[in-house]
C-alpha cells in the first residue's frame, strides 16, 4: 500500500473534476488490505507409509496420473464407450458445469464494479404553475416544458482501499473453485462408471459360473438317480445331490437379480440407455487391463495436484480476500456522480448552442459509529479464513489416507490374486480325485459334494478378487488425481 500519494492541485480539481477523480482512482487503486497469502504446510508425512508402496518413493520422470488422458488408463473399449456416454449425459456433471456458469457470471458482476457505468438518458418535464404563485402582471397560470438529454456516471465508487478489488478477487477464487469442483466431479464420475461396470461384469461372471455349476450338478443328480435305480447309490446320495442342485438354483436367481440391478445403477450413472450389444461382448474380467505401473511420486507432488485439494485452496484464498474487504470498511469511501448533456424548453433547440449543462457531485462517507458492526464483520471474515484453513488441511489429510489405503491394497491384492488362483487349481484337483474315488466305490457322495462346494466357493472368491483388484486400480486413478482429458 502506497504511503505517499501525488494528488492534483485544488485549482486542477476545480477546473477538471472528472479527470482529477479518475487520476485519483488510478493512483489509489493499488492500495490493498488483503493479507499476504501463505499456503499452509502439508499436515501429512513427507513419504507414504512404508507398506503402502513397494517401489522407491522419489521424484520420477514418468508422467503422473493427472497428466494422462483417461483413455490411456481405461483401455477396454466397452468401458470407454460407457464413460464417454456418462461424460456427455450425466446430470451431476451437467450441474457442475452450470455451477461454473453461475460463478463466472458472478465474477463478471464483481469485476464490472471496478469500472464506471455510463448511462444515457432523455426526459421531458411538463409543469403547470397556478395563477396564485405567478409573478406576472396580471397574474396568469402558465405551463412550462423542459427537455433533457444526458450521459452520466451514477455513484461510481473509487476503490481507494481495495474493497471492490478484494470482492473481485474473492469472486475470482470462488469461480476457480467451481472449475476444480467440476474436474473433481468428472474424475469421480469416470471412476464410478468404471466401478459400476466392473461390478456388473463381476456379477455376470458369477452368474455364468453358477449356470455352469448348476448344469454340472444337474448332470450329477441324473447320474446318481440312475445309480439309485440300479441299487448302486443310496437315497441319501440322491437327496444330497438334489440339495446341491437347488442351492445352485437359489444362487442363480440371486445373481440374475444383481445383474439387472447393476445395469440399472450403470444406466443412472451414464444418464442414457445402455447399448446392450456392446455389453454383450464385454465383461471378461480376464481381458480387462488397466495401467498398473503407476508413478506415485511424493505426497507433495500428488496431493497438491488433486482437484479437490485445489478447490479447497481456492476457497481459502477467497476467504483470505474477504478479510481485505472487511478491513476496507473501516476507511472512507468516495463515490462520484456526474453527468453531461443538454437542456432546453423546446425539443427543436435541445442540441442548439448554449444548451449544454453538466453536473459533478463527489461524495465521501466516513464510518463514525456502527455499534461494532465493522469489527464484527472483520472477526467473521477472519474466522471464516481459519475455517477454510482447517478444511484445506482436512482435505489433504483425507487425500493422504485415501492414497495410502489404495497403495496398500494394491501391494496385497496382486499376491492375493495369485494365491486364490492356486487355491482354485488345488480345489479343482481335489474335486476330480474325490469324484474318481466315488465312481470307484471307495468314498461316499458326501466327499464329492464337499469338494464340489469348495471348488465353487474358490471360483466365486477368485472372481471377487479379480473385481477387487481392478476396482483398486480405478480407486488409484481417482485418488491420484486421474487425468480427465
The tens digit of pLDDT for each residue in 354-379 reads 777 888 888 888 899 889 999 999 99
63 pLDDT band, cuts 50/70/90, is: low
Q: DSSP class of residue 131?
A: G
Looking at residue 49, what is its pLDDT?
Answer: 81
Q: What is the mean pLDDT of the chain?
A: 84
Q: Are strands 142-158 and 118-129 parallel, antiparallel or unpaired?
A: antiparallel
Looking at residue 468, what is its pLDDT?
Answer: 94
Say how far apart CA 24 and CA 83 lie, in whole Å. 55
Cα dihedral 226, 227, 231, 236 sign: negative
Torsions phi, psi for 121 (to 5 deg)? -150, 155
Torsions phi, psi for 126 (to 5 deg)? -115, 125
**pLDDT tens-digit series, residues 420-431:** 999 999 999 998
User: CA end-to-end span of the chain, whole Å?
Assistant: 42
388 pLDDT band, cuts 50/70/90, is: very high
Task: Determine how many CB atoms are found less than 10 A away from the CB of residue 197.
Answer: 29
Note the pTM of the prediction, 2 decimals. 0.80
Looking at residue 52, what is its pLDDT?
Answer: 63
Say how far apart CA 375 and CA 370 lie, in whole Å. 9
Residue 84: CB partners within 8 Å, gap ≥ 6?
Answer: none
Helices (H) and strands (E) in the chain, counts: 12, 4
Looking at residue 12, what is its pLDDT?
Answer: 41
Asked if the model's pLDDT at residue 268 lies above 80, the reply is yes
199 pLDDT band, cuts 50/70/90, is: very high
280 pLDDT band, cuts 50/70/90, is: low
Q: What percent of the chain has pLDDT over 90?
A: 38
Looking at residue 2, what is its pLDDT?
Answer: 37
User: Which of 91 and 340 is assigned the larger pLDDT?
Assistant: 91
384 pLDDT band, cuts 50/70/90, is: very high
The secondary element (H helix, E strand) that includes residue 206 is: helix 163-229
Looking at residue 7, what is its pLDDT?
Answer: 37
**pLDDT tens-digit series, residues 109-136:** 888 877 888 888 888 888 887 877 767 7
Asked if the model's pLDDT at residue 22 lies above 80, the reply is no
Asked if the model's pLDDT at residue 18 lies above 70, the reply is no
Looking at residue 9, what is its pLDDT?
Answer: 43
**pLDDT tens-digit series, residues 26-60:** 555 556 789 999 999 988 888 888 666 545 444 55
Q: What percent of the chain has pLDDT over 70?
A: 88
Residue 126 burial class via C-beta count within 10 angstroms: exposed 0-12, middle 13-18, buried 19 and up: exposed
DSSP character string of 142-172: EEEEEEEEEEEEEEEEE-TTSHHHHHHHHHH
List of domains in the chain: 1-30 (no CATH), 32-114+161-331+372-479 (1.20.1600.10), 116-158+342-366 (2.20.200.10)
Cα dihedral 450, 452, 453, 454 sign: positive
Average pLDDT over residues 319-335: 91
Looking at residue 56, what is its pLDDT?
Answer: 44
The secondary element (H helix, E strand) that includes residue 4 is: none
Task: Determine how many CB atoms are found less than 10 A away from the CB of residue 106.
Answer: 16
- Cis amide bond preceding 193, omega within 30: no
Looking at residue 24, what is its pLDDT?
Answer: 53
Residue 92 burial class via C-beta count within 10 angstroms: exposed 0-12, middle 13-18, buried 19 and up: middle
Looking at residue 15, what is its pLDDT?
Answer: 42
Average pLDDT over residues 439-468: 89
Residue 403: CB partners within 8 Å, gap ≥ 6?
Answer: 48, 52, 296, 299, 302, 303, 476, 479, 480
Amino acid at each position: 500500500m502506497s504511503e505517499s500519494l501525488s494528488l492534483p492541485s485544488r485549482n486542477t480539481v476545480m477546473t477538471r473534476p472528472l479527470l482529477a477523480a479518475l487520476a485519483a482512482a488510478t493512483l489509489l487503486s493499488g492500495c490493498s488490505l488483503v493479507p499476504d497469502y501463505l499456503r499452509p504446510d502439508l499436515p501429512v508425512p513427507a513419504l507414504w507409509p512404508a507398506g503402502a508402496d513397494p517401489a522407491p518413493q522419489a521424484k520420477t520422470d514418468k508422467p503422473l496420473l493427472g497428466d494422462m488422458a483417461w483413455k490411456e488408463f481405461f483401455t477396454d473399449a466397452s468401458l470407454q464407450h460407457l464413460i464417454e456416454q456418462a461424460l456427455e449425459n450425466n446430470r451431476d456433471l451437467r450441474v457442475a458445469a452450470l455451477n461454473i456458469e453461475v460463478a463466472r457470471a458472478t465474477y463478471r458482476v464483481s469485476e464490472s464494479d471496478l469500472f464506471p457505468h455510463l448511462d444515457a438518458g432523455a426526459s421531458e418535464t411538463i409543469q403547470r404553475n397556478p395563477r396564485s404563485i405567478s409573478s406576472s402582471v396580471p397574474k396568469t397560470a402558465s405551463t412550462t416544458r423542459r427537455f433533457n438529454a444526458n450521459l452520466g456516471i451514477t455513484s461510481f465508487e473509487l476503490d481507494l482501499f481495495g474493497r471492490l478489488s478484494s470482492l473481485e478477487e474473492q469472486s475470482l477464487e470462488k469461480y476457480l473453485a467451481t472449475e476444480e469442483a467440476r474436474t473433481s466431479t468428472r474424475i469421480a464420475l469416470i471412476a464410478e462408471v468404471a466401478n459400476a461396470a466392473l461390478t456388473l461384469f463381476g456379477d455376470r461372471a458369477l452368474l455364468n459360473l453358477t449356470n455352469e455349476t448348476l448344469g454340472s450338478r444337474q448332470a450329477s443328480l441324473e447320474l446318481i438317480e440312475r445309480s439309485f435305480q440300479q441299487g448302486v447309490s443310496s437315497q441319501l446320495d440322491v437327496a444330497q445331490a438334489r440339495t446341491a442342485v437347488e442351492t445352485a438354483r437359489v444362487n442363480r436367481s440371486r445373481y440374475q437379480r444383481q445383474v439387472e440391478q447393476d445395469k440399472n445403477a450403470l444406466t443412472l450413472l451414464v444418464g442414457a440407455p445402455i447399448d446392450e450389444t456392446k455389453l454383450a461382448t464385454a465383461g471378461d474380467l480376464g481381458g480387462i487391463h488397466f495401467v498398473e505401473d503407476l508413478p506415485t511420486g511424493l505426497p507433495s507432488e500428488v496431493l497438491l495436484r488433486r482437484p479437490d485439494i485445489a478447490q479447497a485452496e481456492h476457497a481459502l484464498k477467497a476467504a483470505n480476500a474477504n478479510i481485505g474487504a472487511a478491513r476496507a470498511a473501516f476507511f472512507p469511501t468516495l463515490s462520484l456522480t456526474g453527468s453531461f448533456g443538454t437542456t432546453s424548453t423546446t425539443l427543436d433547440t435541445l442540441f442548439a448552442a448554449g444548451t449544454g449543462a453538466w453536473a459533478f457531485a463527489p461524495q465521501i462517507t466516513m464510518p463514525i459509529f456502527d455499534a461494532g458492526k465493522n469489527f464484527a464483520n472483520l472477526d467473521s471474515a477472519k474466522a471464516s479464513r481459519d475455517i477454510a484453513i482447517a478444511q484445506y488441511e482436512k482435505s489433504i489429510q483425507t487425500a493422504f489416507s485415501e492414497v495410502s489405503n489404495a497403495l496398500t491394497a494394491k501391494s496385497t491384492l496382486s499376491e492375493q490374486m495369485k494365491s486364490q488362483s492356486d487355491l482354485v487349481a488345488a480345489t479343482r484337483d481335489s474335486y476330480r480325485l474325490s469324484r474318481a474315488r466315488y465312481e470307484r466305490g471307495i468314498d461316499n457322495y458326501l466327499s464329492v459334494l464337499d469338494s464340489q462346494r469348495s471348488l465353487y466357493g474358490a471360483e466365486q472368491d477368485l472372481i471377487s478378487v479379480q473385481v477387487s483388484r481392478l476396482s483398486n486400480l480405478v480407486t488409484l486413478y481417482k485418488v491420484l488425481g486421474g487425468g480427465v482429458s
